């Protein structure tokens, strides 16, 4: 009798390679979104973020941030203020191996602003990790689109501002940032 089920070896061979890097959206993924924030004192981490990130670091995974900051193009914040805020993020959440910041506005047609894949691809190059070994964790559909068009795997952690269609279209959905990180850890230990 013919057995149509794949062998365990075949299943394992068909699985994607374990992730080696995790990229995070910044606002409403790692820290509470304060629109066009220029003040490091207003940086508030998402619950459990530091612990989750430290687990990834301990597992030897590379970490990065990919963030749209169109407030720079709009003249609402300066690039230096964004750097100061990001410095505070690292002070609270620990070091990241790469920071990718898009300072452009949506009308400028740059290749970095999410949902374009530019920042994900640049982070992958900087980390020396192929895009298909990168996971991107974010809170909206443009994060997921940037991941998939770069060839990376997206995990959506919705907030109350995330649209239903974005949740339905996501490759994977996690309940919390910690949940997303544990999903990555499970795969990286395979
Ligand atoms: Mg966000
Ligand atoms: Zn850009």
C-alpha–C-alpha distance, residues 152 and 173, integer Å: 15
Q: What is the pLDDT along the chain (190 residues), one digit of tens a residue?
A: 455 676 767 766 666 789 999 999 999 999 999 999 999 999 999 999 999 999 999 999 999 999 999 999 999 999 999 999 999 999 999 999 999 999 999 999 999 999 999 999 999 999 999 999 999 999 999 999 999 999 999 999 999 999 999 999 999 999 999 999 999 999 998 7
Residue 102: nearest ligand to its CA? Answer: 2
Domains, the chain, ordered by start = 18-188 (3.40.50.1000)
Residue 111: nearest ligand to its CA? Answer: 2
C-alpha–C-alpha distance, residues 95 and 106, integer Å: 29
Instruction: Give the pTM.
Output: 0.92
The per-residue pLDDT for 9 is: 72
- Structure tokens given for 16: 């994607």
- The verdict on whether 97 is a catalytic residue reads no
Active-site residue, from 4, 27, 54, 132: 27
- The verdict on whether 25 is a catalytic residue reads yes
């Amino acid at each position: 009798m013919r057995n149509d089920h794949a062998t365990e070896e075949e299943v394992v061979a068909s699985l994607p390679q374990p992730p080696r890097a995790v990229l995070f959206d910044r606002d409403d993924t790692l820290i509470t979104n304060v629109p066009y924030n220029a003040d490091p004192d207003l940086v508030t981490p998402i619950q459990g973020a530091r612990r989750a990130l430290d687990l990834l670091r301990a597992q030897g995974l590379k970490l990065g941030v990919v963030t749209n900051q169109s407030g720079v193009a709009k003249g609402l914040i300066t690039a230096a203020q964004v750097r100061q805020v990001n410095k505070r993020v690292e002070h609270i959440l620990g070091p990241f191996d790469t920071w990718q910041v898009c300072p452009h506005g949506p009308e400028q047609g740059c290749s970095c602003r999410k949902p374009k894949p530019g920042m994900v691809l640049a982070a992958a190059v900087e980390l020396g990790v192929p895009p298909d070994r990168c996971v991107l964790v974010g809170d909206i559909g443009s994060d997921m689109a940037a991941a998939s068009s770069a060839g990376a795997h997206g995990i959506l952690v919705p907030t109350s501002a995330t649209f239903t269609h974005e949740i339905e279209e996501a490759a994977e959905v996690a309940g919390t940032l910690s949940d997303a990180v544990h999903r990555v850890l499970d795969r990286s230990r395979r």
